Amino acid sequence: MSTEKEKELAAKAAIKYIEDGMTIGLGTGSTAAHMITALAEEVAKGLNIVGIPSSESTKKLALANGIPLTDFANISAIDINIDGTDEFDPYLQLIKGGGGALLREKILAFNSKLNIIIADCHKQVSRLGKFKLPIETIPFATPILIKKLRIMNLHPILREKDNSPFITDEGNYILDLDITHISNVAQLENTLKQLPGIVETGLFLDIADIVIIGRGDTTEVFK
Ligand code: 5RP
């Protein structure tokens, strides 16, 4: 069974939690794209929901698939947020941001009653950190942050696209950090959030309620 099929299986399983009248957080990435396709099929059949997208790319995809959208001016909470992940550990702690959408993704997740994470089985790890930790930084502060993060042994790498810095939907940069030697990720999160210029990190701690993965031709659910 291909990784793509596993993502699709997880996405379809997550859709089953959705009920008529709900506001749904729409994640970003290839797994979330499967969820958007599956959700669009239900909307076409008459399911009455509104989505709130976590990125400009997801917004485009949702609109192209006929999913009605809203924003935070019109709602006070999201019923269910469904998003992918780059890693999850046995405690359902996550590293996200591989697609560079971590800031809006975390805002959606924080304002959701239920967070469902969908993934292929390769995202399951015993300890976070094999995937480099993305952090979103203000361009003005990024050069000094790189110096500080180097001293902290986090080996920051400025993410690039077409030989220029990758620019997020909020106009910021992404630094990818090596956290393989870090055992206390909660402490790291606190330390990073105290550095002016770091807008958000890709550590999603105590946020996921349910993780659904595709493994082979079945799904597994972690709570
Ligand atoms: C984007 C993300 C994605 O959820 C994460 O990168 C997983 O992507 P994919 O489903 O394509 O493997 O955090 O910022």
What digits encode the pLDDT tens for the residues 191-207? 999 999 999 999 999 99
Q: Is 51 in the pocket of ligand 1 (CB under 6 A)?
A: no
Query: For ligand 1, atom 2, which residue shows the shortest CA distance?
Result: 97
Whether the per-residue pLDDT at 1 is higher than 80: the answer is no
Mean predicted lDDT score pLDDT of the chain: 97
| E-assigned strand segments in 87-132 | 87-88, 94-95, 112-120
**Binning pLDDT at 50, 70 and 90, where does residue 81 land?**
very high
Nearest atom in ligand 1 to the alpha carbon of residue 123 is 12
Sign of CA dihedral 73, 206, 22, 212: positive
The DSSP H or E segment spanning 29 is none
CA of 119 to the centre of ligand 1 (A): 9
Smallest Cα–Cα separation from 121: which of 16, 27, 31? 31
Q: Which of 31, 106, 118 to mutate to test the pocket of ligand 1 (most atoms within 8 A of CB)?
A: 31
What digits encode the pLDDT tens for the residues 144-164? 999 999 999 999 999 999 999
Q: Determine the pLDDT at residue 74.
A: 95
What digits encode the pLDDT tens for the residues 7-34? 999 999 999 999 999 999 999 999 999 9
The DSSP H or E segment spanning 126 is none
CA of 73 to the centre of ligand 1 (A): 26
CA of 194 to the centre of ligand 1 (A): 25
Q: Is 100 in the pocket of ligand 1 (CB under 6 A)?
A: yes
Yes or no: say if 158 and 146 are a contact pair by the CB < 8 Å rule: yes
The full set of domain ranges for the chain reads 3-124+205-217, 133-197
Q: Determine the pLDDT at residue 105.
A: 98
**Binning pLDDT at 50, 70 and 90, where does residue 170 land?**
very high
What digits encode the pLDDT tens for the residues 87-136? 999 999 999 999 999 999 999 999 999 999 999 999 999 999 999 999 99
30 is in an annotated binding site: yes
Topology given in CATH for the domain delimited by 133-197: Alpha-Beta Plaits (3.30.70)
| CATH tag, 3-124+205-217 | 3.40.50.1360
Q: Which residues 6+ apart lie within 8 Å of 40 measured at CB?
A: 62, 65, 66, 67
197 is in an annotated binding site: no
Of 8, 105, 136, 200, the active-site residue reads 105
Query: For ligand 1, atom 8, which residue shows the shortest CA distance?
Result: 29
105 belongs to the catalytic site:
yes
Average pLDDT over every residue of 50-68: 98
Q: Determine the pLDDT at residue 31.
A: 98
ipTM of the complex in this document: 0.98
Yes or no: say if 58 and 90 are a contact pair by the CB < 8 Å rule: no
Q: Which of 34, 58, 59, 86 to mutate to test the pocket of ligand 1 (most atoms within 8 A of CB)?
A: 86
Q: Determine the pLDDT at residue 142.
A: 98
99 is in an annotated binding site: yes
What is the model's pTM? 0.95
